[in-house]
Structure 1
Amino acid sequence: MPALRLPTFDPTTEQGVLRLSIAASLAMAAAAVAFGLLANSSLIIFDGIYGLIDVVMTWLSLLVVRLISLSTHVDTLQSRLNQRFTMGFWHLEPIVLGVSGTLMIGAALYAAVNAVDALMSGGREIALGPAILFAVISIVAETGLALFVRRANRSIGSDFIALDAKNWVVAASMSAAYLVAFLGGYVLGGTQWAWLVPYIDPAILLVVCLFVVVAPMGTVRQALSDILLITPLDLQTHVDEVARDIVARHGFLEYRSYVAKVGRGEQIELFFVVRADDPPRALIEWDRLRDEIGEALGEESPDRWLTIMFTTDREWAI
């Protein structure tokens, strides 16, 4: 009898990896809040809040991935949803990535302000036993998940999973900082440096917050670039090379290219200006030329929106 497979958490698919990450994030967030309250640690509580935000944003990422997948299958093109979003759902990907990174930065800034306030108010007394136990559990679990997600994404190549792997690395780094801080507090207890122990929790929290603020900035910057439809230079260069070759070989007057990258989707529009006295061609010949251009641009993909037009009027190409 073949082994029973659970497609919900299939590690070979983007949606399966994200579902697994959601479940793990929810479990770790719940544990962080519980241990944080038990240990009276704002550092651990922040870890739980960070994890809860990650759960919500990963769930949204999973929803967007499913919408993009459905919209690129022919058998669903006539659905009511696709009729309302005829241009696809690629634009949702950078929005979710940008919002996710922005929320992470916002939560970190808020926690940093609280950490500064605690430092100025004499620190915070914490129970080191539960705090150290949670830090050890977190390091093991989060490091394992970071390695697993990164390895899974080698064959999937998803920006969502890449961001999720980055979040697990950040979480594991935070847990390592917790462990160092709490062990340091345990060692200092009962010594002449014991007065430093209450400052450990808010001080490490402040350092972690500064790290969390920096980590998602690259993702937010790329998401903003996609939302604003800023043309990727490498893609524009490749499209222009193909278009110039077509113009030279077929004797066209000129071309206009419009290129953008939106999430995983590439949007390419090419307008070729043909001579008004160019000999008439059958429609099938123009279609063959479109196929030639499409092949020159690269392998066909459901995530590529390609429009190729031929006209004798320059105004249509502007």
Structure 2
Amino acid sequence: MNETASSAAAAETGERRGASTNGTRRPQTDMGGRERRLLLVSAAATLFLSAAGVAVGVWTGAKSIVFDGMYGVVDAGMTLVAWSVARLIARGDDHRFQYGYWHLEPMLAFLNGAVLLFACTYAFVDGAGALLAGGRPVGADVGVGYAAAAAVLSFAAYAYLRHKGRGLGSTLLDLDARAWLLGGALSAGLCLSFVAAGLLEGAGAARSAAYADPAILVALSMCLAPFPAAAVARSSREILQVAPLDLDARVAGIAGEAAARYGFVEHRSHVAKVGRAWFVEIGFVAPSAATAKTMGELDTIRQEVVDAMGGLGPGCWLTVDFTADRRWI
């Protein structure tokens, strides 16, 4: 079926899209504004903590703290990009991006995951090299204080974002909150490593204490790497528009029930999820071209499909077609 024929069929059958019926075209000012404010607060806090980390790391000579700080700088940069993306999403669709800017969410998640995965790889290589070179001494006392404070602040920021962002359904805020949680775990691990180094130095084992910083750097990079790797894999599926199995099965079930209830001989559905946006297309085939239903009856079927799906929120595009010719679905 060519594109022109598809467009003509949609016009004749009364295509219904969620964007035209539930406000997708209107900016979501309240929720979008709260999302952007939280992202700005998070970015500012991340930059402050990261700058402190880089300064302390350079002062003490602890590469693990420098890595912690640089990890945060990258995350802050990604948060600012996320803020820009949130602004675009809140604008709704326009003549250039007629489905809105939802597609930018998985692209940003992919970029964020790729950069953080690269940072973890670099940290692993640096730590492994230091271990092979005999370790490196660090200022344990200052490191313990910084790492403990950073861990507390990171976990507090995670709890704050999760609480304030509840109900927004924001992929961007979820990514940012997860980054704070990972940062808190990283800082807690650093704190433990510096405590161990201090105990070893106090016991007269300064040579062994020199291995604490690179060892924890290697361990943390290995522990953190799976998280951005999972984000890259998940966002890749959305960028490639791989149909979510649960959504596909749910929509197919709803379409099958409607087809049986109203006497359609065939139905077909297609789904995709991109960021917070859902794209759902359902086609019903009537027994013959002589089958007669009023526009009101067709709209009733559409409404039943919407109700079965739980309603249409912002970013959900639904198309329901009716035809007697299988080619059109």
TM score, norm. by length of structure 1: 0.88
1:224 equivalent in structure 2: 236
2:178 counterpart of 1:166: yes
1:158 shift after superposition: 2.2
2:52 counterpart of 1:31: yes
2:38 equivalent in structure 1: 17
Which letter maps to 1:174? L
Query: In the alignment, is the contact (CA less than 8 A) between 1:104 and 1:212 conserved in 2?
Result: no
- Where 1:151 maps in the other structure, the secondary structure is helix
1:195 shift after superposition: 0.9
Aligned residues: 299
1:130-182 deviations in Å (ceiling 9; x for gaps)? 22221122122112111111222333332222222221111111111111111
Which runs of 5 or more structure 1 residues have no equivalent in the other structure? 1-9, 72-76
Which letter maps to 2:168? I
2:297 counterpart of 1:285: yes
1:6 equivalent in structure 2: none
1:199 equivalent in structure 2: 211
- Where 1:189 maps in the other structure, the secondary structure is helix
2:126 counterpart of 1:105: no
Query: In the alignment, is the contact (CA less than 8 A) between 2:32 and 2:86 conserved in 1?
Result: no
Query: In the alignment, is the contact (CA less than 8 A) between 1:11 and 1:17 conserved in 2?
Result: no
> Which range moved further: 36-45 or 144-153?
144-153
2:19 equivalent in structure 1: none
Query: In the alignment, is the contact (CA less than 8 A) between 2:106 and 2:275 conserved in 1?
Result: yes
1:237-278 deviations in Å (ceiling 9; x for gaps)? 221121112211222121110011111111101111123343
Specify which structure has the bigger relative contact order, considering alpha-carbon pairs within 8 angstroms and separated by 6 or more residues: 2
- Where 1:299 maps in the other structure, the secondary structure is coil
1:44 equivalent in structure 2: 65
- Where 1:154 maps in the other structure, the secondary structure is coil
Query: In the alignment, is the contact (CA less than 8 A) between 1:268 and 1:307 conserved in 2?
Result: yes
Which letter maps to 2:183? A
1:57-83 deviations in Å (ceiling 9; x for gaps)? 112222222222211xxxxx5xxxx11
State the distance in 2 between where 1:277 and 1:157 align. Answer: 43
Query: In the alignment, is the contact (CA less than 8 A) between 2:157 and 2:180 conserved in 1?
Result: yes
Pairing partner for 2:91 from 70, 73, 87: 70
- Where 1:83 maps in the other structure, the secondary structure is coil
- Where 2:81 maps in the other structure, the secondary structure is helix
1:199 shift after superposition: 1.2
Which letter maps to 2:70? I
Which letter maps to 1:65? A
2:97 counterpart of 1:91: no
Paired residues for 1:203-282 under 5 Å: 203-282=215-294
- Where 1:255 maps in the other structure, the secondary structure is strand
Ranges of 4+ aligned residues in structure 1 off by more than 6 Å: none
State the distance in 1 between where 2:236 and 2:284 align. Answer: 30
> Which range moved further: 177-186 or 151-160?
151-160
Query: In the alignment, is the contact (CA less than 8 A) between 2:283 and 2:322 conserved in 1?
Result: yes
1:12 shift after superposition: 8.8
State the distance in 2 between where 1:130 and 1:301 align. Answer: 50
Q: CA RMSD in A?
A: 1.9
Which runs of 5 or more structure 2 residues have no equivalent in the other structure? 1-30
TM score, norm. by length of structure 2: 0.85
